[in-house]
Structure 1
Amino acid sequence: MPSDLRSAPDDLNACFAVAATLAVDGRTAAAIAAFEAVVTRWPDVTVAWANLGVLRRRAGLDESAIDAFARAAALQPSEPSRHAALAQACHAAGWMERAMAAMRRQAVLCPGDPEAAYNIGITAPLVGTRQAARRWLCQATIQDPSRAGAWLRLSRIATRLGSDDEAWRALRRSLVLAPGSTEAWGDRVRAFEDHAAAPRLIVIDPDDDEVWVLAARGAADPAETARWLARFQGREVVADATVRLARQLDLPEGRRWRTRYERWIERYEISDARAVAAEIAGWNDPPTIDLLMPVCDPPVDALDAAIASVRAQSYPHWRLCIADDASTDPAVHAALDRAAAADARIRLFRRTERGHISAASNTALGLSDAPYVGFLDHDDALAEHALFHVVRELRAHPGIDFVYSDSDLLDQTGTRHSPVFKPDFDPYLVRTANYVCHFAVYRRDRVEALGGLREGYEGAQDHDLILRLMDSDPPPVIRHIPRVLYHWRAVPGSTAGNAEAKPYAAKARDRALTDHLARTTPGAAIASTDWGPRVIWPLPDSRPRVSVIVATKDGHALLRRCVDGVLGGTDWPNLELIVLDNGSRRAETRAYLDELAADERATVLRRPGPFNFSALMNDGAARASGSVLAFLNDDVEPLHRDWLEDMVRHALRQDVGAVGAKLFYPDRTVQHAGIILIPDYVARHIHVRLSARGHGYMARAQRVQTLSAVTGACLVMRRSVFETVGGFDAERLAVDYSDIDLCLRAGTAGFRTVWTPFARLIHHESATRGGYLSVEKRQRWEEETAAMRARWAARIANDPYYNPNLTVDPEETPFDLAFPPRLGQPNLEDGPVRD
């Protein structure tokens, strides 16, 4: 008992007064201790628990504060303010489901309180219930029609639900009530694209450059547009949207300004033609590459540009094999005749019947006798040094069967934009989408052995070819050139600008993938998603035993939610839970662990001592009986019942080592969607704070893929793989990086690390560990960072699943352009891939 209370230890009023005085004096720690003594001695005093909750929140002790508020609400369940305080604490800590439950109890007790309805309305979307949010916000606007914020939030929810008329009415009401609201005017300008309203927003917020551009878009004539854009005169760097608008209107600034990508091109793309020519001249027996171009009534100017891009190649040893697929436009015929007459390296064949792109491509293939063939669409273009870089790669790595490059888009003015910087070849990602696409060069004999492109798969014929090549014997050698060698023209109706422009292509893709799975993995199936197909790998009839391993210390509330999610909220028939207690001291935690130990599905191991994540996980694995190990943080809770099944489906694949999940912060933004390797800090999470449905770069936040590493907060691995690589490194990587190191060691042993977005869990990140506050912890982190750099220096410098043209600057967002790019390092191999 605190010394302040010893004078009257049995007098509730005196003890309470002492605790309250300490709180008023700002002596928070002492006040907490005093109120803890009060509730220990008199556990039914509601106001003492409530005050203890306030003080613990003030001290940053969120979990214990929530426990105190919950006790107060339990003692006084008919008092709305108790549930309101609990809801506020849970909301601030990110425990949205629990906050919602407390808010609903408050609303039941105060059915006419617009504040309660509003709070539920703004919280409901965070737990994925937008329809409920609309109902509660409608109720809030009925109970208090003068609340502008409720109308604004209702407008936003209605927009997300596709109710545009309702959204517009709610937004207008919000603006009537709060005509100076920057948020409301911003929604009107941006969400409703009412660019004519932008001048009003500029009056309120004149420092927002984007609004000036939107005002220019809403201008009545080019002169007015130019007046709005005059704000940017004299600037060397402006937003890309400003550049594009100025060019659309043919303003002088549009010719002077450069987009960020254009500045990157000017700085880093090869421009020394003489150096390239000198290198080519020094090559012995350079190979010929035949470019296959099926043609069918393209715009003539685009066709001329495509052919011109071939003739402009710095590498001279090429042929262009054109198969005209019975074009009907005389201008196209004339253009092809001119091209064939102008350059003897151009071979032209005219088909008399239209066979579509696969048949025409095969006709072009029949014109080839070169060792390598590349594919070029009739309206796209090659970069000047495309073939030079391809042959350089072929010379550096003899035996290549297939090589592909990065690409970008061409708009209708010929301006390059939207580069796609791809990872190295990944069979898991390519099963979800043909991210490889252009520029693609194959060994001709491998293509011919496959029978060329298959008819009936038009729209996905190249995707089908890649999948069949993957399945062929011997396994193909595939390389990636991280340079933009292909310019894909984005025109109306083109898949370059819109992947949904050709619905038949998606059907053909699904047929190609179904065929691939039938050849390689009988029993596998595909399911459709908004971002492409999802492969459902088969499970054995006898489900393997899965051991879920969790370390904990004094995180009672979090641990209970984690355990409830594993034992009660997970659909897996053969499961055990192993909890390693790293020295819990709180009575409620120890009592819960005793309760848990009585459950036949769970084993509790007492492991006091300094925190060593790796040692704890190794100890749990040693005691586990399952053939599959699932390592889980105690601050992680499942969001759906089949999370483990999805991860196990991947983990049972023979080429897979570690499997990672998609983890969210409590507000449903992304906390973990995989890990990339970066030189400054070894590793970094990607797509952090992206919305749950945000697609991310190349839609990679929504697609299964191989990555260098995933977090150990939720990691599944077969026991055999874990034992092969020696488990976690408890000696040199006790706390940090041991999960990354495990993934990388599995990679060197020939096993992939796969991340799936279909296993979704909430992660209250490091909630029971705390931050790096001590000198000791900082020193340990530096030592473990140095150990990782020494062990994995080459791999950290060149992550094969993160393009070197993308930034690794810790101050910038992953997938932004790198200034400068990290080109020049060789591609690294993980080792033999087990299929």
Structure 2
Amino acid sequence: MGDMKQQRALPERVWRELARVPRNVRRLLSRAAPRVTGKMKTGTPSIDRYEDWISKNEPNREELDVQRRHSAASLAGPKISLLIPVSETSPRFLDELFESIVAQTYGNWEACVVDAASSNTELLRQWSEADPRIHLDRLVTNLGIAENTNRALHAAEGDFIALVDHDDVLAPFALHEVACAIRQNPGAEIFYSDEDRLSESGKRTKPFFKPEWSPELLYSCMYFGHLTAYDRHLAVALGGFRKEFDLSQDYDFALRAVERSQKIVHIPHVLYHWREHAASGASGGKPEARKTNIAALADAVKRRGLQAEVLETPTANRVRMVMTDPPRVSVIIPTDSPERAIKCGHDLVAGTGYPYAEFILVANTSLIHKMKESVEISSNNVRLIPFDEPFNFSSKCNAGAREAIGERLIFLNDDVEPKESSWVQNVIEPLENPEVGAVAPKLLYEDGRIQHAGLVTGVREFVGTAFHREQAATRMHVNFAQSMRNVAALSGACLAVRRDTFFEVGGFDEKNAAIAHSDIDLCFRIRLAGMRCVYTPFTELQHTGRASAGLTPNEAKPRRDKSTTYLLNRWGEYVTRDPFFTDNMRDWLFADSPVPIQMFARNQFPPTPSQIDILFVSPDLTRSGAPLSLFHLAEWCRGNGFFVTVAAPVDGPLRNKFVAAEIPLIIDPLTGTDHPSFGRLIGNFDVVVANTVKTADAITVRSRENVPRVWWLHETELGQRFLRKDARISAALSLQIYWSRRAIARSRFIASTPPAQCTS
């Protein structure tokens, strides 16, 4: 056996691989054959969108059988008691309900059925005799929905109770998912799932995908809905359901339960089919329920000691905080536009009805001199703060905040115009709740469509807008745009915070979010401090666009913005996962980029101190040689002080290794394509490493930034076959001659730098 070759250090091996790139490029080009073109197949038949979603996201027959076998073979899991009060309903609906119950893939359940003197006694008796888990209690009179449910609760012996209406249907895997969630979340006392509607003909429609626990949204509506399960001991301790809130007894119960629960869990599966028929609540057949709904909420507000009034709006409830001692408000407006500054100093002040507001305009000295000569802004409520430093939007806002005397701060872009004089009080009133840290209103484009109804994360390009470009009064997705609710982040175009909160979390980040994403970063720090970000629809402002972000002629162009990469580095979990715009919501509602995407990252405190941000592009996440080589290189780079991110078009078993190594991972079908969003992603990084010949588009795709790209080619004969089939690869190879020279120079620096220096 001969002597083994000396193992080179990884940096040197990397450099040697990169150095081979030009040689491999020339070799492939010299053997290239013309590309054979072909036509794409067209004419794919269109199908119902929700039916398509169901086929892709719900278990098929074989998977349901696996669940049944697992339930039969495993030790007893949590026992789930279904509380089913029955009054007059269609025998067909009852049959379909019990068929769905006995067909559950999870077996440890009981159905506590209370027959409230209905005409379906015989049918119910047959079902109770057919399955011993169905327990029947017949009443001689109908006690009302709350008392009927209490009778079922008193008979229940399960670990958890779940509420089921007599005319609805459970998904066959409903209790399986509830039991799994209970096992995975020890200590949780409340569980709720997504749901949809069921027509009388049996067609499933109108999916309601829900956010995770959202206190403000529960004020706006009973969004828990169905299927909801509660720890039985908690339900008993609450005293069950209250008769005075009949028809909204479940809402009253939920409002009381969340006050005592330490953990509330959303199950992101459609487990319940809410029947639509003339007499059902799903079709608006219970008009009296609105009155008891408002009464239950008013009782909760009183019980919690909130100084607030409960209002009924056409689309949602509103809990309006009462400001017994109205706070002083400072409206901070960074500007360098003479026209908009004059307009803010006059029209904005005149159009604001809040008597305790001051208006702080932060501008360059030259503009301030002009403004002081203007009679239009002679009001004592307007203050002018000079700012002559290089363009830095965060610094401007912080300068205004330091001069502010208000207990509440509203940061306002100079191109935002209120539509009503009460805008200030409507924006700041939720801040009377100390658990709320930031508030922003509905912003509209000039055509009246929504620009901002809360920001969302976990979408392509990381941050987007909920219900973007929908009509201002849209009732889409159970009136979410018309409901006060919790959101991941808020737009800084009009953003209200308490003064002490703003400075406690450090204000706007002047270094890492000088221009873009300063509002996102601030909201994330507010959330990290344990407070909530709240969107309010109860005032509307018009935002003319991005005029306020423009530069004046005398300002130098800022250096390349790296705020997106900073967000991913520091706020990886927050920017890739939105608890208030869950994956199902995103894939169903986010119209700006509807192709599904998965992202995995973690928050880092402090973030990785990196001078070079690297994007690795892999053709897949299999455990084959090239992806594994990329993983080891990415892991080494991360361990030596570089911030790295990996993007791949498809999921695979290697995903778990990246997640365990805490390397941000983007699984996006548009990765490695010529889609503009992929080009914009590339523009956030200092260098791109595209792995194998299959990632040609990572080399050719256009990007606003001149980002060096390294094509890490492993193939020779295989590469020739790809080259003959696809002219893009030939184009990419010619580009790579240029990119490789830049990248090799950089890689030589990395390879020759000791690890201690690499981490700087």
TM-score by length of 2: 0.70
**Structure 1 residue 274 displacement after superposition:** 4.1
Q: Deviations over 1:732-773 (max 9, x none)?
A: 110111101111110011110001111221111222434999
Tell me what 1:791 maps to.
570
1:737 to 1:599, Cα distance in 2 relative to 1, 3 A:
same
Tell whether the 8 Å contact from 1:652 to 1:718 is kept in structure 2 after alignment. no
Report the CA distance between 1:338 and its aligned residue: 0.9
Among 558, 565, 580, the alignment partner of 2:340 is: 558
SS at match of 2:54: helix
- Cα pair 2:439 2:497 within 8 Å, conserved: yes
2:579 to 781, 788, 800: 800
* Residues 629-685 of structure 1 deviation map (CA, whole Å, 9 limit, x = unaligned): 111111111111111111221112100111001111223222211110134312111
CA distance in 1, matches of 2:71, 2:340: 63
2:362 aligned partner: 580
1:441 matched to which residue of 2? Answer: 229
* Residues 623, 572 of structure 1: alpha-carbon distance in 2 compared, 3 angstrom cutoff: same
The correspondence of residues 31-70 of structure 1 with structure 2, limited to 5 A, is none
User: Where do residues 170-185 of structure 1 align in structure 2 (5 Å cutoff)?
Assistant: none
Cα deviation for residue 824 of structure 1 reads 10
383, 391, 395: which one aligns with 1:603:
383
CA contact (8 A) 1:268 1:820 kept: no
Q: 1:756 to 1:424 in 2, by over 3 A?
A: same
Counterpart position of 1:625: 405
Aligned to 2:749: none
For 1:288, which of 79, 84, 93 is the aligned residue? 79
2:21 aligns with none
Query: 1:308 — aligned with what?
Result: 99
Question: What residue number does 1:423 align with?
Answer: 211
Shift of 1:506: 0.1
**Structure 1 residues 592 and 737: CA distance shift in structure 2, 3 A:** same
1:470 deviates by 2.5
Cross-structure match for 1:432: 220
The answer as to 2:376 corresponding to 1:568 is: no
2:503 to 710, 720, 723: 723
Point out the structure with max Rg over C-alpha: 1
CA distance in structure 2 between the aligned counterparts of 1:398 and 1:304, rounded to whole angstroms: 34
CA distance in 2, matches of 1:688, 1:816: 7
**Inter-CA distance 780–570: structure 2 relative to 1 (3 Å threshold):** same
2:146 pairs with one of 358, 368, 374: 358
How far 1:582 sits from its partner (Å)?
3.9
Greater Cα offset, 725-734 or 596-605: 596-605
Query: Deviation string for 1:799-823 (max 9, x for gaps)?
Result: 0011211346xxx961699665859
Please tell me the residue identity of whatever aligns with 1:423: P
Equivalent pair of 1:807/1:821 in contact (CA under 8 Å): no
**Residue 264 of structure 1: aligned partner:** 53
In the TM superposition, what whole-angstrom CA distance separates every residue of 1:398-452 from its partner, at most 9, and x where no partner exists? 1111100000111112121111001112111111111111000000111111111
What per-residue deviation string (whole Å, max 9, x for no partner) do you get for residues 555-595 of structure 1?
A: x332333333442222222222211104656xxx7522544
Report the Cα distance in structure 2 between the residues aligned to 1:584 and 1:318, rounded to whole angstroms.
75
* 2:283 alignment partner, SS class: coil
Question: Does residue 814 of structure 1 match 2:590?
Answer: yes
Give the superposition deviation at 1:780.
2.7
- Could you say which residue in structure 2 is the equivalent of 1:753? 533
Is 2:336–2:552's contact at 8 Å kept on the other side of the alignment?
no
Aligned counterparts of 2:223 and 2:447: Cα–Cα separation in 1: 31
Tell me the equivalent position of 1:345: 133
CA positional deviation for 1:357: 1.2
Percent identity, aligned pairs only, is 35
Please list the CA deviations of residues 243-275 of structure 1 after superposition, one character each: whole Å capped at 9, or x if unmatched.
xxxxxxxxxxxxxxx411111111221221244
> Which of the numbers 312, 332, 335 marks the counterpart of 2:123?
335
Q: Secondary structure at the match of 2:571?
A: helix
Which of 284, 302, 306 matches 1:518? 302
Q: What CA distance in whole angstroms lies between the structure 2 residues aligned with 1:622 and 1:669? A: 35
Cα pair 1:264 1:819 within 8 Å, conserved: no
The match for 2:289 is 505
* 1:487 counterpart (263, 269, 273): 273
Superposition pairs of residues 599-748 of structure 1, within 5 angstroms: 599-748=379-528
Question: How far apart in 2 are the matches of 1:521 and 1:571?
Answer: 29
Which structure's residues are more often helix, by fraction? 1
* 1:322 partner letter: V
C-alpha separation in 2, matches of 1:411 and 1:463: 24
- The match for 1:546 is 329
User: Aligned partners of 1:550 and 1:826: how far apart in 2?
Assistant: 34
Name stretches of at least 5 consecutive residues in structure 2 with no aligned partner.
Answer: 1-41, 604-760
Separation in 2, partners of 1:604, 1:460:
53
Length-normalised TM-score, structure 1: 0.64
Q: Note closer, same or farther for the CA distance 1:452–1:479 as it changes in structure 2 (3 Å cut).
A: same
Aligned residues: 557
Alpha-carbon shift at residue 796 of structure 1 (Å): 2.2
Work out the CA distance in 2 between the residues paired with 1:826 and 1:316. 37
Which residue identity lines up with residue 507 of structure 1 in the other structure?
K
Structure 1: which 5+ residue stretches go unaligned?
Answer: 1-233, 239-257, 828-835
- Aligned-partner SS, 1:631: strand
Q: 2:371 aligns with which of 589, 592, 596?
A: 592
Q: How does 1:367-406 map to 2 (within 5 A)?
A: 367-406=155-194
Q: Is the Cα–Cα contact under 8 Å of residues 628 and 719 in structure 1 kept in the other structure?
A: yes
* Closer/same/farther in 2, CA of residues 582 and 684 from structure 1, 3 Å limit: farther
Deviation at 1:598?
Answer: 5.1
Question: Structure 1 residues 451 and 816, CA, compared in 2 at 3 Å: closer, same or farther?
Answer: farther
3-state SS of paired residue (2:296): helix
Q: Which has the higher contact order (CA 8 A, sep 6+)?
A: 2
Structure 1 contact 482–805 (Cα < 8 Å) conserved: yes
In structure 2, the residue matched to 1:210 is: none
Distance in 2 separating the partners of 1:451 and 1:797: 41
Q: Which amino acid aligns with 1:799?
A: D
The verdict on how the C-alpha distance between 1:796 and 1:278 changes in structure 2, with shifts beyond 3 A counting, is farther
Return the alpha-carbon distance in structure 2 between the equivalents of residues 281 and 816 of structure 1.
45
Distance 2:318 2:224 in 1: 18
Contact 1:292-1:322 within 8 A present in 2 as well = yes
Structure 2 residue 117 is the aligned partner of structure 1 residue 326:
yes
The 3-state SS of whatever aligns with 2:148 is helix
Q: Which deviations, in whole Å up to 9, do the C-alpha atoms of 1:484-505 show, x marking residues without a partner?
A: 010111112322133xx32100
Structure 1 residue aligned with 2:613: none
1:389 deviates by 0.9
Q: Is the 8 A contact 1:582 1:611 kept in 2?
A: no
Q: Given residue 477 of structure 2, which amino acid in structure 1 is its aligned partner? A: Y
Deviation at 1:279, TM superposition (A): 4.8
521-530 or 377-386: which moved more?
521-530
Secondary structure at the residue paired with 1:448? helix
Query: Quick check: 575-584 or 749-758, which moved more?
Result: 575-584
**Aligned mates of 2:81, 2:552 — CA distance in 1:** 59
Q: In the aligned structure 1, how far is the partner of 2:592 from the partner of 2:73?
A: 37
Matched, 1:478 2:264: yes
RMSD (Å), alpha carbons = 2.6
Mapping of residues 106-121 of structure 1, within 5 Å: none
Say if 1:805 and 1:818, in contact at 8 Å, map to a contact too: no
- Give SS of 1:456's match: helix
Q: Does 1:459 align with 2:247?
A: yes
1:532 aligned partner, one-letter code:
A
